[in-house]
Amino acid sequence: MICVEEKLLVNVLYRPASEILNGIDINDVNFENLIKLASGHLMLPALFFNIDKKKVSYLFPEDFIAYIKNIYAINKARNTVLLAEAKELSDLLYKHNINHIFLKGTALLLSNVFEDIGERMIGDIDFIIQHKDEKKIKKVLEKNNYRGKNPVRLFRLFKPKHLPRRVHKNKTIAIEPHLELLAPGWRGTFNSKALMNDFKEETKKFKTPSKPFLFDHCIYALQIPDQGFFTKNHSHRSIYDIYKLDCEKSLRIKNIKKDIYTKHFFLNIAKFKIFDIAIKATLFSLYYDKLFRVVRKLSLHLIFLRINRNLKKIVLLFVSNKYRKRALNKIRIHYHHKTLLKYIYRWLKV
C-alpha cells in the first residue's frame, strides 16, 4: 500500500501541476513524514525543483518550502563544485595519459540529463579506468594529494569493483576509481567491456557513457549492488534517473521484457504508474523469477566468494604484522573481558 506522502511525492515528481492532488487530500499529508521519505530517497532537491517548476508551492506550508529550498540550494552549490572538481581531475588524468569515463550521478550531470544541476544528490565522483592503468593511477593520485585508506591485501583472486575511495585535503568531493561495474560474481550479467570502445577514443574531454548504457547501469546498480532484485524495495532516486533518461525512447527498451533484472525493476514500481510500459506478470513468470532469485542468491559462486573472503582474513592474520596488530588492538579494546578471547590474544602475541 502506498502512503499518502509517497503518493504526493510521486505526483509532484512525475505528474503535471493539474494532477498533483489527484487522489490526495492535502490535509491528510504529514509534512514531517514527507521530508523523512524524500530525504531517505535522496529526493529533497528534486522535490523542491519540481514544486517550483510547476508553480504549486501554494499547496505546501511556507516553512516546508523554505526548508527544502535551502536543501536544494546547498545541493546545487555542491554540484557546481563537483563539476569543477571533476574537470580538474579529468585534466590531471589526461595529463598522465589515463583514459577514464565518468559514471553514475556525475555522468548524468555531465550528460545534461537533468534540467537543473541542483536536482540530483550525488555522493562521490565515480569513474572507470582500464585495468592496465591501475598502478599508474594509484601513483598519480597519491602524488597529487588524493589520500585514502590502503587496505592490507596479501592476494586477490579477482579485480575489485573499485579502488579505495580517496579525498583531497583541499577539495570537497571524494573520488572513487572503478575497475569494474559490478562485483565479481555478477560481471557476466553486466560487464564493463561494453565501455571498451569508448576508451579507444582519444578526445581529451569529459567522457560519459551513452544514454542507453546509463539507463542499463541505473537499473543494474539498484538491482544488484543495492539488492533491489532480491527485495521489493525501490529507490526514487533511481526511478527519477530512469525517468529523466527518457527510457521509453531508449534503444534498448525492446529488451526490457527479456531482461529479468530490468523486468523486475519495472514490475516493482508499476504501482506508481510512472511509465507507460505494459509488462504483465503471469503466474509462471512470477514463479520462475522467484526461483531464479533464490538460486542466484545461493549460487556456489557467491558462496565461494564469501568463504574466500573469510579465508583471506585468516591467512592475513598469520602472515601480515599490520593486519595482526589491528586484530589484536580490537581484541584488547573491545573484548578484554572475555576469557576465550584473552587466550586468543595471548596465543597470537607469542
Please say whether the beta carbons of 150 and 129 come within 8 A: no
Position 28 pLDDT exceeds 90: yes
Tell me the domain boundaries of the chain: 210-277
Query: pTM for this structure?
Result: 0.77
How many H helices and E strands in the chain? 14, 5
- Residue 23 CA, chain-centre distance (Å), reads 32
Position 251 pLDDT exceeds 50: no
Position 80 pLDDT exceeds 60: yes
For 7-26, how does the pLDDT look when each residue is reduced to its tens digit (9 = 90+)? Answer: 999 999 999 999 999 989 99
Residue 75: what pLDDT?
Answer: 96
Tell me the CA end-to-end span of the chain in Å, nearest whole number.
Answer: 60
For 290-349, how does the pLDDT look when each residue is reduced to its tens digit (9 = 90+)? Answer: 555 556 555 545 555 555 555 566 666 666 677 667 766 766 665 555 555 555 555 554
Instruction: In whole angstroms, give the CA distance from residue 104 to residue 107.
Output: 5
What sections of 18-113 are H helices per DSSP? Answer: 31-40, 44-53, 62-95, 104-110
Q: Of the candidates 237, 223, 239, which has an alpha carbon nearest to the alpha carbon of residue 186? A: 223
Which of 102-116, 252-266, 288-302 comes out lowest in average pLDDT? 288-302
